[in-house]
Structure 1
Amino acid sequence: MKTVILAGGGHSHLHCLLERSKEKTADRWILISPSRHQYYSGMFSGFVEGIYSEEEIRVDLEVLCRKAQCDFVEASVLSVDPIQKQLLTDTGDLYSYDAASFDIGSRNEDPDIPGLSGVNLKIKPNHHFPSQVERLYRSRNTVFIGGGAAACELALSLRAWKEKNGDPGDSITVVHSSPLLHGTGVLASRSMASLLARRGISTVRGKAEQLQEGTIVTDRGRHIPFDEVMFLGGAAAQGLFVSSLIPTDEKGFMLTNAHLQSISFPDLFAVGDCGTLENFPELPKNGVTAVRQGPVLWDNLNRFLTGRKLHAFQPRSRYLSILSTGNGHGFLLYGSFAVQGRWTRKLKERLDRSFMEKYTFHEK
């Protein structure tokens, strides 16, 4: 009997567990995750706004593992020995594998900004997020660093919550070095800028250079006071792969081939935020990519164990994304196409709830 280890409970691994619950194999599968619950980041904005409860935005990995006849281990992987094919966890346990896959996400940090690490509200690993939201609610001056979808969406959701439950006069600011929603086109960027302005959210163009005594200093000389700050300016790699001498890209993400395998160790796989495809280094590290990698990963893990030819993952050039913008409205993006409205929010809620229902099992 061969052993497959899944490190992390991300989107792709959730798919593997769901498929195994339908189609059992004789192999032993183990899921190692630092938390029993995996939170769905696509519903974070709705949680901040108060639309969803904590129970509604998380998957119980232990229950899902029992359904899939997969051992569940609540721990974090500290190191990998790719020669001996062993993983070491923070509980001091060693696990041997025939194949191991990593879906451990990334970090929302930037070590190049002095003073950030001590005050940054960290939402990754994502099981930390709910405990940080109460601090956002209490904050009179909140700053989100980053101009991408996550920063814009959370700023708008926080504004909606404060208008209903807190002080609508509280300051919310988005600091961004690139155009808002960079990469989606001029129309989407301008539309988002206009929306943020209408909702009373300040936008400051510039790069955060340092944080000191409750103030963010930008490269353009702006000084922005804050009570709470959250960095959402891009994914930072976990240190696991570099310390384990597994080949990575220049940022520390595991470098993989088209089959989602390490370029040097074919029994290691990486998906979601923690991996970089060698032939598609600019592929967005987001939930959409991870969801699409799930079926390929499941198929390739089983094919690898039985010596069959693996399938290649084919990225898409465009994908659908819907941001929750508060008060029943949404912001839909598809390539350079952008549209706002209530119907987009309803579509997002339907898609998000449908996604979660697949992984929700109630024990008898």
Structure 2
Amino acid sequence: MKTIILVGGGHSHLHCLKKRIKHLDDNVKWVLISPSRYQYYSGMFSGYTEGIYSLEETRIDLERLCENAECEFVERTVLSIDPDQQHLLTDKGDIFTYDFVSFDIGSRNDSLKIEGLHERNLPIKPNYRFPEQIEKLHNSRKTVFIGGGAASIEMALSLQAWKVDNGFKDHLVTVVHSSPLLEKAGSHSSKKITGLTLSKGVELHQGRVEKVDETRVYADDGTSIDYDEVIFLGGPKAPPLFGSSILPTDEKGFLLVNSYLQSVEYPNVFGTGDCATLKDFPDIPKNGVTAVRQGPVLWKNLNGAAANGTIIPFEPQERYLAIMSVGDKRGFLTYGSFSLVSGWAWRLKNWIDVRFVRRYGG
């Protein structure tokens, strides 16, 4: 009997578990290893922060999903992998042996390049940390977000909306960004989201953060900003797992995979989502859209590899629809260089997000 181990409860692995419910195969043993029984859906982070969703509405019960899929669930954190011996070591000292292993463990919101940040940053990834950290943001009188991308702006606007709704108008929410907001969406969208963010009362400071101490964030222009909580959302950072292994990675430490989602040197090791970089398409965004689209390919390839059968390549799409919540149940929709702000955009996002969680949690 072949053993397939899924490490992490990310989007691609959720798809595999759901497919297995309808396609059980007694010739393959499936195991899911995750540090928490619950997988919190990142698409609803902003809505939970704003107070729109309850905690239960944002999470998927991995143990129950595994039970339905006849997949063994192990609540552990994988600390290291030996791809030659095909062993995984967990934080409890367990050693698991696999025929095929797949990693969908997400990324870190941290940066070792900023002096002092690691010791003071509020980590919401891995996402099982998310609920307790949002409570700290709600209580913070002065919050600084580092980063000018969608994740930082969305969380800042959602937190600001919660502050206003709950009477904390004296609390300050600041975003420090080294490049224009949503720069990759084009200048028109960047100007639009900048104006919207300022109109909501979020303070913006363009500069590169160089240092963080116990009370202040220091930018490269000499400015310093007081904070109670500081959170880095300046782009995904590689999880430490691959850096401590002999698995090939890209220059940033993400698992390097080919178009079949396999490690470029170990074909029985797969990687999807934020934790992996496609060798032939290194600039594909590390976001939920990519991870969701990789799910069906991963399912096909894990089963194909286990049966010595056919595997298929993942084909990235050049453009994709993205919607971020900007507070007060309004969404900022982008598609290529096109963008708009509307209530129906948020309703569409809400429909997509609620449907996603119900698909895997029901």
Which letter maps to 1:176?
H
Query: Partners in 2 of 1:207 and 1:127 — Cα distance?
Result: 29
AA of the residue aligned to 2:226? P
TM-score with structure 2 setting the length: 0.99
- The residue aligned with 1:302 is 303
Match of 1:22, as an amino acid? K
Aligned-partner Cα distance in 2 for 1:217–1:147? 16
Structure 1 residues 82-91 or 26-35, which shifts more? 82-91
Contact 2:101 2:270 in 1 (8 A): yes
The alignment partner of 2:339 has SS state of strand
Aligned to 1:38: 39
CA distance in 1, matches of 2:70, 2:337: 43
Contact 2:218 2:225 in 1 (8 A): yes
Find the counterpart in structure 2 of residue 287 from structure 1: 288
Give the superposition deviation at 1:239: 1.6
CA distance in 2, matches of 1:288, 1:60: 21
| 1:274 matched residue in structure 2 | 275
- State the SS of the aligned residue for 1:91: coil
Q: Which residue matches 1:324? A: 325
Distance 1:23 1:270 in 2: 22
Deviations 1:197-217 (A, max 9, x none): 100111111110001231111
Say if 2:143 is the partner of 1:129: no
How much does 1:168 deviate? 1.4
1:117 maps to 118
Q: Secondary structure, in 3 states, of the residue corresponding to 1:72?
A: strand
Q: 8 Å contact 2:121–2:232 — kept in the other structure?
A: yes
Deviation at 1:351, TM superposition (A): 0.8
1:252-308 residue CA offsets vs partner (Å, 9 max, x unmatched): 111000000000000000000110000011111111100000000000000011112
Tell me the equivalent position of 1:88. 89
Aligned residue in 1 for 2:17: 17
TM alignment of 1:167-206, pairs within 5 A: 167-206=168-207
Structure 1 stretch displaced more, 52-61 or 177-186: 177-186
1:82-134 Cα offsets, whole Å, 9 max, x none, are: 11111111111111111000001111110011111121110000010110111
RMSD (Å), alpha carbons: 0.8
CA distance in structure 1 between the partners assigned to 2:212 and 2:79 by the alignment: 30
The amino acid of 2:157's aligned partner reads L
> Separation in 2 of the partners of 1:91 and 1:166?
45
Q: Distance in 2 between matches of 1:207 and 1:18?
A: 43
Distance in 2 separating the partners of 1:178 and 1:25: 50
Rounded to whole Å, the distance in 2 between the matches of 1:136 and 1:92 is 34
Q: Does structure 1 residue 143 correspond to structure 2 residue 139?
A: no
User: Which shifted more, 8-17 or 82-91?
Assistant: 82-91
Q: 4+ residue runs of structure 1 moved beyond 4 angstroms?
A: none
Q: Deviations over 1:212-247 (max 9, x none)?
A: 231111111111111111100011111211211100
* Secondary structure of the structure 1 residue equivalent to 2:183: coil
- Report deviation, 1:139: 1.0
1:4 aligned partner:
4
* 8 Å contact kept, 1:137–1:166: no
What stretches of structure 1 of length at least 5 have no aligned partner?
Answer: none
Aligned to 2:231: 230
Match of 1:212 in 2: 213
Answer whether contact 2:120 2:214 (CA < 8 A) is retained. no
- Looking at structure 2, the residues matched to 119 and 238 of structure 1 have their Cα atoms a distance apart, in angstroms, of 18
In structure 2, distance between residues paired with 1:129 and 1:173: 20
Determine helix, strand or coil for the equivalent of 2:310: coil
Letter in 2 for 1:14: L
Q: Percent identity?
A: 55
User: 2: distance between equivalents of 1:314 and 1:4?
Assistant: 24
Separation (CA, whole Å) in 1 of partners of 2:328 and 2:125? 26
**1:175·1:206 contact (CA, 8 Å) conserved in 2?**
yes
SS at match of 2:185: coil
Q: What SS does the aligned partner of 1:118 have?
A: helix
What is the TM-score with the length of structure 1 in the denominator?
A: 0.98
Partner of 1:221: 222
Q: Secondary structure at the match of 2:120?
A: coil
Is 2:78 the partner of 1:77?
Answer: yes
What is the deviation of 1:165?
1.1
Q: Using the alignment, how far apart are the partners of 1:328 and 1:270 within structure 2?
A: 34
Q: How many residues align?
A: 361
